Amino acid sequence: MYDLLVSPFTDFAFMRRALAGCLALALGATPVGVFLLLRRMSLMGDAMSHAILPGAALGYLAFGLSLGAMTVGGIVAGLVVVLAAGVVTRASILKEDASLAAFYLLSLAAGVMIVSLRGRNLDLLHVLFGSVLALDDGSLLLIGGIATLTLFGLALLFRPLVLECFDPAFLRGVSRWSPVAHYGFLMLVVLNLVSGFHALGTLMAVGIMILPSAAARLWAHELPVLLGLAVVFAAGSGVAGLLLSFHVDVPAGPAIVLMCGLVYFASLLAAPGGLLAGRLPVRHHLES
């Protein structure tokens, strides 16, 4: 048991770094995922991760495999898309999904075009699939820093953000916080996707945001419980995925996301909000 669960982390430094990265992601990215889920923007996270890819690729083209350049490129590309889409959503009749789709598709197309113009064969596997088992000091600090910033940001924005999610008209009526909550949250999404792609890759980063949140939503009726449960699910899946990857020798990123998926399916079957709960025969109903 010890060999199975603990010794991989005690014996190997890269596993400890990976563990630290995963736990930081669970603490930072997963709560952001909960709000994405509650705002019905789950798929938007996926779209955003595509929008970040060209920026990161540009950074890679210009400066090689440099953490700073790729991070800055990704953040800039993501923020441009998010802010442009935010302005369009708030000022035109287009809804959030439509305006975001427009800008992320443009960002993706522009990225692909720039890459092909340079005509170089890119080794973008790092960006696509991440490298949680090879996190260097810089990446680890970045992931930890973004997780810390996210927790502070969410604490600061919590009440306006909750209101912006469930009754935006009321928030607009009583205060000027509505745009702050909206854009602030979208910036947190971008930051966490960038942090996620270092560990899990752009394609997988959304997995650890949305899957634990969806699983937790099936169990929880209160927001604090929902947030806590989602973080626990994400952290557990992270540990389990790393161990799976270590023992069976499969890539860590997909292993972690698949573990999140396992929690999700288990919740679908067992949770009160899941598939079975409403379909089982009710033996005794309540008096009132």
Where does this chain bind another protein (CB under 8 A)? Answer: 38, 157, 159-160, 162-163, 165-170, 172-175, 177, 217, 220-223, 226
Picking from 243, 196, 269, 266, the residue whose alpha carbon sits closest to that of residue 46 is: 196
SS3 assignment, position 136: coil
First to last CA, the chain: 49
* Shortest Cβ 249–another protein spacing (Å): 40
Helix, strand, coil shares of the chain, percent, nearest 5, are 80, 0, 20
User: Computed over its alpha carbons, how large is the radius of gyration of the chain?
Assistant: 20
* Shortest Cβ 110–another protein spacing (Å): 32
In this complex, which beta carbon is closest to another protein, that of residue 25 or of residue 229? 229
In this complex, which beta carbon is closest to another protein, that of residue 168 or of residue 236? 168
Which residue, chain included where needed, has tokens 């008096």?
A: 287
Burial (CB < 10 A; 0-12, 13-18, 19+), residue 105, is middle
Q: How many residues does the chain have?
A: 288
* Shortest Cβ 1–another protein spacing (Å): 37
In this complex, which beta carbon is closest to another protein, that of residue 118 or of residue 159? 159
In this complex, which beta carbon is closest to another protein, that of residue 130 or of residue 153? 153
Whole-angstrom Cα distance, residue 77 to residue 82?
9
* Shortest Cβ 41–another protein spacing (Å): 12
* Shortest Cβ 210–another protein spacing (Å): 16
In this complex, which beta carbon is closest to another protein, that of residue 198 or of residue 217? 217
